[in-house]
Amino acid sequence: MEELSSRWIVQPGEVHIRLDQYLARHITGTSRSQVQAWIRAAEILVNGARTKTGYLVRPGDEIILHRRAEPPPLLRPEQLPVTVIYQDGDLAVIDKPAGMVCHVGAGVRSGTLVNALLHHLGPIEAGDPVRPGIVHRLDKLSSGLMVVAKNNPSHQALSRQFQSRRVSKEYLALVYGRPTPPAGTIDLPLGRDPKNRKKMSVHARRSRNAVTHYAVEREYGPWTLLRIRIETGRTHQIRVHLAHKGHPIVGDKLYGGNRSRTLRLAFLREALEHFQRVFLHSHRLEFHHPSSGDLVSFTSPLPSELEDFLKSIQQ
């Protein structure tokens, strides 16, 4: 494999910047997550020593990147069910179906959103070549709106908006019970669950801030439809926050378990037993267009399987 090596000296005007942010700015087409992976793998050294992704660079620091350039996995276009809501030369807004992973990863080499995008949009040269175009993600079990970059300037501009929390993200979720108060904020940090690495938790040893706002939209028997807005985009954030509050999302077996036996009415138990996904949908997305600067907003109605479920529980 080809050996790649680069060197930077931090200048006086570049203080109080995280190491991963510094390098993402200095390496064209590289995402912060990719830089963080290099730091964790000790492929990036500061003054000859390993350090953390959150290290704040100081004037005179010598930063060296030395790694073996491995070819990215072969990404093939695949004709998969993804709806393109809008697209232009800079970006596309798509409606992701539930059950689809955003990009290739451990044990996943096909059937991803990236494979679908390559079919619908053609070649994408933006951001990480392993996940071209991807600026943010949705859980595999969630559906709804995502914005995808088509070129590096758009990718960088959109990434900055997400990092600075200037993107408005609104979801619809059906939960157990009646949240009190009917509108409120859950402000609890999240991190990896110390007992189950597949889960996130508000009791993690190492955590990051997470803020979720919710409001009751409509009541459906033992369940309540919530309109949710998130300030941060942590893994499983909405699912963990609502479950911690005592109102797990319908269909979420990881954080809510199987609750069909708690339902008194047989038709509700039957509807839930046939429901095969998490009732969480990215309903609205609002951001500034990376080229024009105009504020643009997109909405996505509930997909048919969620609408059908709501109809089935109103007998």
- Just list the catalytic residues: 139
In degrees, rounded to 5, the angle at the alpha carbon of residue 204 between the alpha carbons of residues 186 and 277 is: 65
DSSP secondary structure letter of residue 232: S
- Buried-exposed string 227-266: b where 16+ CB fall within 10 A, e elsewhere: bbbbbbbbebbbbbbbbbbebbbbbbebbbeebeeebeee
Phi and psi torsions of 259, nearest 5°: -105, 15
The rounded distance, in Å, linking the Cα atoms of 64 and 74 is 28
Maximal CA-CA distance, the chain = 70
Q: Which two tokens stand for residue 83?
A: 């709806």
Preceding amide of 303 cis, omega within 30 = no
